[in-house]
Amino acid sequence: MAANDALVVIAGGGFGGLYTALAMADRRPHPPILLIEPNERFLFLPLLYELLSDELRSWEIAPRYDALLAGRGVAWLRDRVVRVDAEGHRLQTAQGRDLIYGRLVLATGGRPESFGVPGVKEHSLGFRSLADVERLQELVQRLRLERRPLQRLAVIGAGPTGVELACKLADLLGETAVIELIEQGSELLASGRSFNRDQARAALQRKDVRLRTHTRVLAVEAEALELSHEAGAGNGPRRETLRVDGVIWAAGSSASLPELHPIPALGSGGRLRCNDDLSVEGLADVFALGDGALALDDEGRVLPTTAQVAFQQAELLARNLLHSLASEPLESFHWNDLGEMISLGVGNASLTGLGVTLAGPAAFRLRQIAYLARLPGLPHQLKVAAGWLSDLRR
Ligand SMILES: Cc1cc2nc3c(=O)[nH]c(=O)nc-3n(C[C@H](O)[C@H](O)[C@H](O)COP(=O)(O)OP(=O)(O)OC[C@H]3O[C@@H](n4cnc5c(N)ncnc54)[C@H](O)[C@@H]3O)c2cc1C
Protein backbone atom coordinates (compact mmCIF):
# COMPACT_ATOMS: atom_id res chain seq x y z
CA MET A 1 0.00 0.00 0.00
CA ALA A 2 1.45 3.42 -0.98
CA ALA A 3 1.94 5.98 1.79
CA ASN A 4 -1.32 7.89 1.16
CA ASP A 5 -3.67 4.96 0.51
CA ALA A 6 -4.96 5.02 4.08
CA LEU A 7 -5.21 8.82 4.41
CA VAL A 8 -8.75 9.96 5.12
CA VAL A 9 -9.26 13.54 3.97
CA ILE A 10 -12.34 15.36 5.22
CA ALA A 11 -13.28 18.48 3.29
CA GLY A 12 -15.30 20.79 5.57
CA GLY A 13 -15.22 21.00 9.35
CA GLY A 14 -18.89 21.69 10.09
CA PHE A 15 -21.36 19.31 11.70
CA GLY A 16 -20.75 16.51 9.22
CA GLY A 17 -16.99 16.82 8.82
CA LEU A 18 -15.83 17.72 12.32
CA TYR A 19 -17.98 15.08 14.03
CA THR A 20 -16.84 12.41 11.53
CA ALA A 21 -13.21 13.33 12.31
CA LEU A 22 -13.81 13.22 16.08
CA ALA A 23 -15.73 9.93 15.92
CA MET A 24 -12.92 8.33 13.87
CA ALA A 25 -10.27 9.74 16.18
CA ASP A 26 -11.97 8.01 19.12
CA ARG A 27 -11.18 4.63 17.49
CA ARG A 28 -7.80 3.13 18.35
CA PRO A 29 -5.99 2.56 16.08
CA HIS A 30 -7.31 4.88 13.40
CA PRO A 31 -5.90 5.85 10.01
CA PRO A 32 -4.30 9.28 9.46
CA ILE A 33 -7.06 11.91 9.30
CA LEU A 34 -6.68 15.30 7.64
CA LEU A 35 -9.43 17.90 8.05
CA ILE A 36 -9.39 20.68 5.45
CA GLU A 37 -11.42 23.67 6.61
CA PRO A 38 -10.86 27.36 5.74
CA ASN A 39 -12.34 28.89 8.89
CA GLU A 40 -10.48 29.26 12.17
CA ARG A 41 -13.52 28.32 14.26
CA PHE A 42 -16.19 25.65 14.18
CA LEU A 43 -19.65 27.22 14.29
CA PHE A 44 -22.53 25.60 16.18
CA LEU A 45 -25.20 27.05 13.86
CA PRO A 46 -28.35 26.11 15.86
CA LEU A 47 -27.20 28.53 18.60
CA LEU A 48 -26.34 31.41 16.26
CA TYR A 49 -29.53 33.28 17.26
CA GLU A 50 -28.36 33.34 20.89
CA LEU A 51 -25.09 34.91 19.76
CA LEU A 52 -27.04 37.64 17.97
CA SER A 53 -29.00 38.38 21.15
CA ASP A 54 -25.93 38.14 23.42
CA GLU A 55 -27.52 35.26 25.34
CA LEU A 56 -24.40 33.23 24.52
CA ARG A 57 -20.78 34.20 23.87
CA SER A 58 -18.82 33.50 20.71
CA TRP A 59 -16.22 31.26 22.41
CA GLU A 60 -19.09 29.01 23.54
CA ILE A 61 -20.65 28.40 20.14
CA ALA A 62 -17.56 28.98 17.98
CA PRO A 63 -14.56 27.14 19.49
CA ARG A 64 -11.25 27.24 17.61
CA TYR A 65 -10.28 24.16 15.59
CA ASP A 66 -6.75 24.12 17.01
CA ALA A 67 -8.17 23.83 20.56
CA LEU A 68 -10.81 21.24 19.57
CA LEU A 69 -8.33 19.03 17.74
CA ALA A 70 -5.29 19.36 20.03
CA GLY A 71 -4.09 15.88 21.00
CA ARG A 72 -6.96 14.19 19.12
CA GLY A 73 -4.94 12.68 16.28
CA VAL A 74 -6.59 14.81 13.59
CA ALA A 75 -4.44 17.12 11.45
CA TRP A 76 -6.08 20.37 10.35
CA LEU A 77 -5.19 22.24 7.18
CA ARG A 78 -6.60 25.74 7.04
CA ASP A 79 -7.44 25.74 3.35
CA ARG A 80 -10.32 25.06 0.96
CA VAL A 81 -10.74 22.12 -1.44
CA VAL A 82 -11.38 23.52 -4.90
CA ARG A 83 -11.10 20.49 -7.19
CA VAL A 84 -11.33 16.71 -6.84
CA ASP A 85 -10.19 14.12 -9.36
CA ALA A 86 -11.90 11.02 -7.98
CA GLU A 87 -10.30 8.65 -10.51
CA GLY A 88 -6.79 9.75 -9.51
CA HIS A 89 -7.70 10.04 -5.79
CA ARG A 90 -6.30 13.61 -5.94
CA LEU A 91 -7.52 16.96 -4.78
CA GLN A 92 -6.36 20.54 -5.14
CA THR A 93 -6.76 23.31 -2.62
CA ALA A 94 -7.23 27.06 -2.96
CA GLN A 95 -3.65 27.60 -1.76
CA GLY A 96 -2.29 25.40 -4.53
CA ARG A 97 -1.72 22.16 -2.63
CA ASP A 98 -2.07 18.89 -4.54
CA LEU A 99 -2.91 15.93 -2.26
CA ILE A 100 -3.48 12.23 -2.77
CA TYR A 101 -6.07 10.62 -0.52
CA GLY A 102 -7.20 7.09 0.26
CA ARG A 103 -10.79 8.05 1.17
CA LEU A 104 -12.40 11.45 0.77
CA VAL A 105 -15.35 12.86 2.72
CA LEU A 106 -17.21 15.80 1.19
CA ALA A 107 -18.72 17.70 4.08
CA THR A 108 -18.70 21.17 2.57
CA GLY A 109 -22.26 22.03 3.61
CA GLY A 110 -24.59 24.50 1.98
CA ARG A 111 -24.71 28.15 0.97
CA PRO A 112 -27.57 30.63 0.68
CA GLU A 113 -29.55 30.24 -2.53
CA SER A 114 -30.90 33.38 -4.19
CA PHE A 115 -33.12 31.45 -6.67
CA GLY A 116 -32.11 34.01 -9.28
CA VAL A 117 -33.88 36.89 -7.50
CA PRO A 118 -32.05 40.08 -8.52
CA GLY A 119 -30.35 42.11 -5.80
CA VAL A 120 -30.14 39.35 -3.16
CA LYS A 121 -26.34 39.24 -3.12
CA GLU A 122 -25.91 43.03 -3.28
CA HIS A 123 -28.61 44.19 -0.88
CA SER A 124 -29.42 41.51 1.67
CA LEU A 125 -27.70 39.99 4.68
CA GLY A 126 -27.29 36.28 5.25
CA PHE A 127 -27.34 34.43 8.54
CA ARG A 128 -24.85 31.57 8.74
CA SER A 129 -21.49 32.99 9.81
CA LEU A 130 -19.92 35.04 12.61
CA ALA A 131 -19.47 37.89 10.13
CA ASP A 132 -23.22 37.75 9.34
CA VAL A 133 -24.02 38.04 13.07
CA GLU A 134 -21.72 41.07 13.40
CA ARG A 135 -23.30 42.80 10.40
CA LEU A 136 -26.79 42.16 11.77
CA GLN A 137 -25.82 43.41 15.23
CA GLU A 138 -24.53 46.61 13.64
CA LEU A 139 -27.82 47.06 11.78
CA VAL A 140 -29.84 46.47 14.98
CA GLN A 141 -27.65 48.98 16.80
CA ARG A 142 -28.09 51.57 14.06
CA LEU A 143 -31.88 51.18 14.04
CA ARG A 144 -31.98 51.48 17.84
CA LEU A 145 -29.91 54.69 17.76
CA GLU A 146 -31.51 56.39 14.77
CA ARG A 147 -35.12 55.68 15.76
CA ARG A 148 -36.53 57.15 12.54
CA PRO A 149 -40.28 56.81 12.08
CA LEU A 150 -41.53 53.58 10.41
CA GLN A 151 -38.25 51.67 10.48
CA ARG A 152 -38.70 48.25 8.93
CA LEU A 153 -36.68 45.03 8.60
CA ALA A 154 -37.71 42.22 6.26
CA VAL A 155 -36.83 38.58 6.85
CA ILE A 156 -37.37 36.50 3.72
CA GLY A 157 -38.49 32.89 4.20
CA ALA A 158 -40.63 31.58 7.06
CA GLY A 159 -38.75 28.32 7.52
CA PRO A 160 -36.99 27.66 10.86
CA THR A 161 -34.19 30.20 10.25
CA GLY A 162 -36.59 32.98 9.22
CA VAL A 163 -39.01 32.36 12.10
CA GLU A 164 -36.30 32.06 14.77
CA LEU A 165 -34.53 35.14 13.46
CA ALA A 166 -37.71 37.22 13.25
CA CYS A 167 -38.54 36.40 16.90
CA LYS A 168 -35.05 37.35 18.14
CA LEU A 169 -35.00 40.54 16.06
CA ALA A 170 -38.43 41.55 17.35
CA ASP A 171 -37.18 41.16 20.94
CA LEU A 172 -33.98 43.09 20.21
CA LEU A 173 -35.69 45.94 18.39
CA GLY A 174 -38.89 46.28 20.43
CA GLU A 175 -40.87 49.21 19.09
CA THR A 176 -37.98 50.76 17.18
CA ALA A 177 -38.71 48.77 14.01
CA VAL A 178 -41.37 46.61 12.44
CA ILE A 179 -40.35 43.09 11.40
CA GLU A 180 -41.92 41.74 8.21
CA LEU A 181 -41.62 37.97 7.70
CA ILE A 182 -42.22 37.22 4.04
CA GLU A 183 -43.10 33.75 2.78
CA GLN A 184 -44.11 32.70 -0.72
CA GLY A 185 -45.90 29.55 0.48
CA SER A 186 -49.18 29.35 2.34
CA GLU A 187 -47.76 28.54 5.78
CA LEU A 188 -44.85 29.21 8.12
CA LEU A 189 -42.63 26.24 9.09
CA ALA A 190 -44.20 24.24 6.26
CA SER A 191 -42.28 21.05 7.02
CA GLY A 192 -42.27 21.49 10.81
CA ARG A 193 -44.29 19.87 13.60
CA SER A 194 -47.78 21.28 14.14
CA PHE A 195 -47.10 21.99 17.85
CA ASN A 196 -44.02 24.08 17.04
CA ARG A 197 -45.88 25.79 14.19
CA ASP A 198 -48.72 26.82 16.53
CA GLN A 199 -46.24 28.07 19.13
CA ALA A 200 -44.32 29.98 16.48
CA ARG A 201 -47.47 31.60 15.10
CA ALA A 202 -48.50 32.71 18.61
CA ALA A 203 -45.00 34.05 19.37
CA LEU A 204 -44.92 36.06 16.14
CA GLN A 205 -48.33 37.57 16.96
CA ARG A 206 -47.26 38.50 20.51
CA LYS A 207 -44.16 40.22 19.13
CA ASP A 208 -46.10 42.05 16.39
CA VAL A 209 -44.11 40.41 13.61
CA ARG A 210 -46.05 40.84 10.36
CA LEU A 211 -46.23 37.48 8.64
CA ARG A 212 -47.10 37.78 4.93
CA THR A 213 -47.73 34.43 3.26
CA HIS A 214 -48.40 33.91 -0.48
CA THR A 215 -45.90 36.72 -1.08
CA ARG A 216 -43.00 36.36 -3.48
CA VAL A 217 -39.92 38.58 -3.56
CA LEU A 218 -39.32 39.70 -7.16
CA ALA A 219 -36.28 41.88 -6.46
CA VAL A 220 -34.25 43.26 -3.58
CA GLU A 221 -33.14 46.87 -3.90
CA ALA A 222 -30.98 49.09 -1.70
CA GLU A 223 -33.92 50.31 0.39
CA ALA A 224 -36.93 48.46 -0.98
CA LEU A 225 -38.40 45.10 -1.86
CA GLU A 226 -40.44 44.40 -4.98
CA LEU A 227 -43.16 41.97 -3.94
CA SER A 228 -45.84 39.99 -5.68
CA HIS A 229 -48.87 38.94 -3.66
CA GLU A 230 -50.23 35.72 -5.10
CA ALA A 231 -53.89 36.47 -4.51
CA GLY A 232 -56.75 33.99 -4.09
CA ALA A 233 -59.16 32.61 -6.71
CA GLY A 234 -60.09 34.93 -9.55
CA ASN A 235 -57.58 37.68 -8.69
CA GLY A 236 -54.23 38.02 -10.42
CA PRO A 237 -51.01 38.71 -8.51
CA ARG A 238 -50.74 42.21 -7.00
CA ARG A 239 -47.39 44.01 -6.96
CA GLU A 240 -46.10 46.19 -4.17
CA THR A 241 -42.94 48.13 -3.42
CA LEU A 242 -42.09 47.88 0.28
CA ARG A 243 -39.59 50.37 1.73
CA VAL A 244 -37.16 48.58 4.08
CA ASP A 245 -34.16 49.48 6.23
CA GLY A 246 -32.65 46.02 5.88
CA VAL A 247 -33.30 42.60 4.36
CA ILE A 248 -32.21 39.24 5.75
CA TRP A 249 -32.35 36.44 3.21
CA ALA A 250 -33.34 33.12 4.82
CA ALA A 251 -35.22 31.67 1.87
CA GLY A 252 -33.21 28.51 1.33
CA SER A 253 -29.84 27.04 0.53
CA SER A 254 -28.14 24.79 -1.98
CA ALA A 255 -25.12 22.52 -1.75
CA SER A 256 -21.69 24.12 -1.74
CA LEU A 257 -19.34 21.70 -3.52
CA PRO A 258 -15.85 21.87 -5.01
CA GLU A 259 -15.41 21.08 -8.69
CA LEU A 260 -15.76 17.30 -9.05
CA HIS A 261 -14.43 14.96 -11.76
CA PRO A 262 -16.06 12.89 -13.09
CA ILE A 263 -19.18 15.05 -12.71
CA PRO A 264 -21.47 13.11 -10.36
CA ALA A 265 -25.27 12.85 -10.30
CA LEU A 266 -26.80 15.75 -8.39
CA GLY A 267 -30.24 15.85 -6.78
CA SER A 268 -32.45 18.73 -5.65
CA GLY A 269 -30.54 21.73 -4.35
CA GLY A 270 -27.42 20.52 -6.19
CA ARG A 271 -26.84 17.89 -3.50
CA LEU A 272 -24.72 14.78 -4.14
CA ARG A 273 -26.74 11.62 -4.60
CA CYS A 274 -25.55 9.11 -2.02
CA ASN A 275 -25.99 5.39 -1.49
CA ASP A 276 -27.37 4.28 1.86
CA ASP A 277 -23.80 3.70 3.14
CA LEU A 278 -23.12 7.42 2.36
CA SER A 279 -20.76 6.69 -0.53
CA VAL A 280 -21.33 9.11 -3.42
CA GLU A 281 -22.97 7.59 -6.48
CA GLY A 282 -20.42 7.31 -9.27
CA LEU A 283 -17.34 8.51 -7.32
CA ALA A 284 -15.19 5.67 -6.00
CA ASP A 285 -13.89 6.08 -2.43
CA VAL A 286 -15.71 9.40 -1.99
CA PHE A 287 -18.34 9.79 0.74
CA ALA A 288 -20.64 12.69 1.59
CA LEU A 289 -22.90 13.78 4.41
CA GLY A 290 -24.75 16.78 5.77
CA ASP A 291 -26.26 19.61 3.72
CA GLY A 292 -24.28 18.73 0.59
CA ALA A 293 -25.52 15.13 0.46
CA LEU A 294 -28.86 13.84 -0.70
CA ALA A 295 -29.63 10.79 1.41
CA LEU A 296 -32.94 9.03 2.05
CA ASP A 297 -34.67 7.70 5.14
CA ASP A 298 -35.98 4.12 5.40
CA GLU A 299 -39.23 5.14 3.63
CA GLY A 300 -37.30 6.64 0.72
CA ARG A 301 -37.97 10.27 1.73
CA VAL A 302 -35.21 12.84 1.29
CA LEU A 303 -33.63 13.64 4.64
CA PRO A 304 -33.79 17.28 5.77
CA THR A 305 -30.71 19.49 5.84
CA THR A 306 -30.28 19.63 9.61
CA ALA A 307 -27.48 19.32 12.10
CA GLN A 308 -29.31 16.38 13.63
CA VAL A 309 -29.04 14.43 10.34
CA ALA A 310 -25.37 15.40 9.81
CA PHE A 311 -24.53 14.45 13.40
CA GLN A 312 -26.08 10.98 13.07
CA GLN A 313 -24.50 10.43 9.65
CA ALA A 314 -21.08 11.31 11.10
CA GLU A 315 -21.18 8.40 13.58
CA LEU A 316 -22.04 5.92 10.82
CA LEU A 317 -19.59 7.39 8.33
CA ALA A 318 -16.69 7.12 10.80
CA ARG A 319 -17.40 3.39 11.04
CA ASN A 320 -17.84 2.99 7.28
CA LEU A 321 -14.53 4.71 6.52
CA LEU A 322 -12.78 2.16 8.73
CA HIS A 323 -14.77 -0.70 7.13
CA SER A 324 -13.89 0.60 3.68
CA LEU A 325 -10.15 0.79 4.45
CA ALA A 326 -10.32 -2.75 5.86
CA SER A 327 -12.27 -3.97 2.76
CA GLU A 328 -15.20 -4.94 5.00
CA PRO A 329 -18.89 -4.58 4.08
CA LEU A 330 -20.31 -1.11 4.76
CA GLU A 331 -23.28 -0.37 7.04
CA SER A 332 -26.46 1.42 5.93
CA PHE A 333 -27.57 4.71 7.44
CA HIS A 334 -30.87 4.67 9.35
CA TRP A 335 -32.22 8.07 10.37
CA ASN A 336 -33.60 8.27 13.89
CA ASP A 337 -35.86 11.32 14.14
CA LEU A 338 -35.29 12.75 17.62
CA GLY A 339 -37.76 15.61 17.22
CA GLU A 340 -37.53 19.30 16.60
CA MET A 341 -36.55 22.33 18.68
CA ILE A 342 -36.90 25.99 17.73
CA SER A 343 -36.05 29.16 19.60
CA LEU A 344 -38.84 31.74 19.76
CA GLY A 345 -37.17 34.90 20.99
CA VAL A 346 -35.07 35.79 24.01
CA GLY A 347 -35.43 33.12 26.71
CA ASN A 348 -38.19 31.29 24.82
CA ALA A 349 -38.39 28.10 22.73
CA SER A 350 -40.65 25.28 21.64
CA LEU A 351 -39.75 21.63 21.31
CA THR A 352 -41.40 18.37 20.48
CA GLY A 353 -39.94 14.90 20.21
CA LEU A 354 -39.14 11.69 22.13
CA GLY A 355 -42.41 12.02 24.05
CA VAL A 356 -41.75 15.61 25.23
CA THR A 357 -43.83 18.58 24.07
CA LEU A 358 -42.92 21.83 25.75
CA ALA A 359 -42.88 25.58 25.12
CA GLY A 360 -41.69 28.68 26.99
CA PRO A 361 -38.66 29.35 29.22
CA ALA A 362 -38.41 25.69 30.35
CA ALA A 363 -38.19 24.61 26.70
CA PHE A 364 -35.50 27.27 26.17
CA ARG A 365 -33.39 25.79 29.01
CA LEU A 366 -33.97 22.22 27.84
CA ARG A 367 -32.93 23.18 24.31
CA GLN A 368 -29.70 24.71 25.61
CA ILE A 369 -28.92 21.63 27.70
CA ALA A 370 -29.63 19.34 24.73
CA TYR A 371 -27.24 21.39 22.61
CA LEU A 372 -24.63 21.48 25.38
CA ALA A 373 -24.44 17.69 25.06
CA ARG A 374 -23.91 18.10 21.31
CA LEU A 375 -21.08 20.65 21.47
CA PRO A 376 -17.91 19.15 20.00
CA GLY A 377 -15.63 17.34 22.46
CA LEU A 378 -16.00 16.78 26.21
CA PRO A 379 -13.40 19.43 27.23
CA HIS A 380 -15.35 22.15 25.37
CA GLN A 381 -18.70 20.90 26.79
CA LEU A 382 -17.28 21.10 30.33
CA LYS A 383 -15.85 24.57 29.76
CA VAL A 384 -19.21 25.87 28.50
CA ALA A 385 -21.12 24.14 31.33
CA ALA A 386 -18.76 25.73 33.89
CA GLY A 387 -19.41 29.15 32.35
CA TRP A 388 -23.20 28.66 32.54
CA LEU A 389 -22.98 27.54 36.18
CA SER A 390 -20.98 30.60 37.17
CA ASP A 391 -23.51 32.80 35.29
CA LEU A 392 -26.29 31.22 37.39
CA ARG A 393 -24.45 32.02 40.63
CA ARG A 394 -24.06 35.71 39.68
C1 LIG B 1 -28.78 29.86 11.39
C2 LIG B 1 -28.94 28.36 11.31
C3 LIG B 1 -29.60 27.69 12.33
C4 LIG B 1 -29.75 26.31 12.28
N5 LIG B 1 -30.42 25.68 13.30
C6 LIG B 1 -30.53 24.34 13.28
C7 LIG B 1 -31.18 23.65 14.35
O8 LIG B 1 -31.69 24.29 15.27
N9 LIG B 1 -31.22 22.31 14.32
C10 LIG B 1 -30.67 21.59 13.29
O11 LIG B 1 -30.71 20.35 13.33
N12 LIG B 1 -30.08 22.20 12.25
C13 LIG B 1 -29.99 23.55 12.21
N14 LIG B 1 -29.39 24.20 11.16
C15 LIG B 1 -28.88 23.41 10.02
C16 LIG B 1 -27.51 22.84 10.35
O17 LIG B 1 -26.67 23.80 10.90
C18 LIG B 1 -26.90 22.25 9.10
O19 LIG B 1 -27.78 21.26 8.61
C20 LIG B 1 -25.55 21.61 9.41
O21 LIG B 1 -24.64 22.61 9.81
C22 LIG B 1 -25.03 20.84 8.20
O23 LIG B 1 -23.76 20.36 8.47
P24 LIG B 1 -22.68 20.31 7.29
O25 LIG B 1 -21.44 19.72 7.86
O26 LIG B 1 -23.26 19.70 6.08
O27 LIG B 1 -22.43 21.83 6.90
P28 LIG B 1 -21.83 23.01 7.76
O29 LIG B 1 -22.06 22.81 9.20
O30 LIG B 1 -22.34 24.27 7.11
O31 LIG B 1 -20.25 22.91 7.51
C32 LIG B 1 -19.66 23.00 6.25
C33 LIG B 1 -18.22 23.39 6.46
O34 LIG B 1 -17.52 23.21 5.25
C35 LIG B 1 -16.61 24.28 5.07
N36 LIG B 1 -16.36 24.36 3.63
C37 LIG B 1 -17.19 24.82 2.66
N38 LIG B 1 -16.64 24.67 1.46
C39 LIG B 1 -15.44 24.07 1.66
C40 LIG B 1 -14.39 23.63 0.80
N41 LIG B 1 -14.50 23.77 -0.54
N42 LIG B 1 -13.30 23.04 1.35
C43 LIG B 1 -13.20 22.87 2.71
N44 LIG B 1 -14.15 23.28 3.56
C45 LIG B 1 -15.25 23.86 3.05
C46 LIG B 1 -17.33 25.48 5.66
O47 LIG B 1 -16.41 26.50 6.02
C48 LIG B 1 -18.03 24.85 6.85
O49 LIG B 1 -17.26 24.94 8.02
C50 LIG B 1 -29.24 25.58 11.17
C51 LIG B 1 -28.58 26.26 10.14
C52 LIG B 1 -28.43 27.64 10.20
C53 LIG B 1 -27.73 28.37 9.07
Q: Is-contact 19 316, C-beta < 8 A?
A: no
Q: Please write down the long-range contacts of 324-331, taking CB distance under 8 Å and 24 or more positions apart.
A: 324/103, 324/279, 324/285, 325/6, 325/8, 325/31, 325/102, 325/103, 330/277, 330/279, 331/277
Mean pLDDT computed over 322-344: 95
Residue 126 reports pLDDT greater than 80: yes
Q: Are 8-38+78-112+254-337 and 120-251 the same fold in CATH?
A: yes
Residue 5 reports pLDDT greater than 90: no
CATH class of this structure's domain 8-38+78-112+254-337: alpha beta
User: pLDDT of 155-211, one tens digit each?
Assistant: 999 999 999 999 999 999 999 999 999 999 999 999 899 999 999 999 999 999 999
User: Does residue 279 line the site of ligand 1, with CB under 6 A?
Assistant: no
Sign of CA dihedral 63, 52, 307, 371: positive
Q: Is-contact 52 137, C-beta < 8 A?
A: yes
Distance CA 331, CA 245 (A): 51
Share of the chain above pLDDT 70, in %: 97
Nearest atom in ligand 1 to the alpha carbon of residue 111 is 30
Residue 130 reports pLDDT greater than 60: yes
Q: What is the CATH number of domain 120-251?
A: 3.50.50.60
Where residue 1 falls among pLDDT bands split at 50, 70, 90? very low
Mutate to test the pocket of ligand 1, among 15, 22, 36, 286 (most ligand atoms within 8 A of CB): 15
Mean pLDDT computed over 287-303: 93
Share of the chain above pLDDT 90, in %: 84
Mean pLDDT computed over 18-37: 95
Alpha helices in 53-193 (DSSP H): 58-61, 65-69, 120-123, 130-146, 160-173
Mean pLDDT computed over 70-85: 96
Total H helices, total E strands in the chain: 11, 23
User: Does residue 250 line the site of ligand 1, with CB under 6 A?
Assistant: no
pTM over 0.75: yes
User: Does residue 51 line the site of ligand 1, with CB under 6 A?
Assistant: no
The strand order across the sheet containing 259-261 reads 98-100, 90-93, 81-85, 259-261
Alpha helices in the chain (DSSP H): 15-25, 48-52, 58-61, 65-69, 120-123, 130-146, 160-173, 194-206, 307-325, 361-372, 378-393
Neighbours of 78 (CB within 10 A): 15
Tell how far the Cα of 45 is from the centroid of ligand 1, in angstroms.
Answer: 7
Mention every residue, 6+ apart, whose C-beta is less than 8 A from residue 310: 14, 15, 16, 19, 107, 289, 290, 291
Angle between helix 130-146 and 160-173 (nearest 10): 40
Q: What is the mean pLDDT of the chain?
A: 93
Domain ranges across the chain? 8-38+78-112+254-337, 120-251
Distance CA 210, CA 240 (A): 15
Mutate to test the pocket of ligand 1, among 9, 42, 291 (most ligand atoms within 8 A of CB): 291
pLDDT at 145: 94
pLDDT at 235: 72
Where residue 393 falls among pLDDT bands split at 50, 70, 90? low
Q: Is-contact 37 392, C-beta < 8 A?
A: no
Distance CA 249, CA 310 (A): 23
Where residue 2 falls among pLDDT bands split at 50, 70, 90? very low
Neighbours of 340 (CB within 10 A): 19
Distance CA 158, CA 201 (A): 11
Mean pLDDT computed over 86-98: 97
Distance CA 326, CA 48 (A): 39
Q: Is 219 helix (H, G, I), strand (E, B) or coil?
A: strand
Distance CA 90, CA 336 (A): 34
Burial 359-381 (b: 16+ CB within 10 A, else e): beeebbeebbeebbeebbbeebe
Distance CA 365, CA 391 (A): 14
Where residue 385 falls among pLDDT bands split at 50, 70, 90? confident
pLDDT at 382: 85
